[in-house]
Structure 1
Amino acid sequence: MKEKQTGSCESCTYYIYDDEYESYLCDVSMDEDEYMRLVSDTHYQCPYYRNGNEYAVVRKQM
């Protein structure tokens, strides 16, 4: 079975800067239970994580 890609929120595509709140936040629409699991469990792997590094994506295509 293929392992899920893990990483920190800072390198995720969905981690964006919101001008209204003047801070970074996750732009994925998740329900309250998923959010609490993500925040409370340090071993929980975010199923929405996508590497925001375009160079790494292109490197895989070559």
Structure 2
Amino acid sequence: MATARLRLGVVGEARQLLPFSGRVEVLSPPEVRAEVACAAASVTGLYQRVGERSGRNPSSRGLL
């Protein structure tokens, strides 16, 4: 695992890291970590609801 230091001017700019999904973890500052965690939870919740509506689990079909 590698560590990189990024300087972001606004907490919301941390959302630019979301396309890296499971390959990046924000360690600090706590407010940026919380922002990214909230956004990730929102996406996870969306896909859980979609799976419930369709009666399928996309990860069980090798799609995730």
Q: Aligning the two structures, in what range does the TM-score lie when normalised by the shorter sequence?
A: under 0.3
Larger % of strand: which?
Answer: 1
TM score, norm. by length of structure 2: 0.21
Larger % of helix: which?
Answer: 2
TM score, norm. by length of structure 1: 0.22
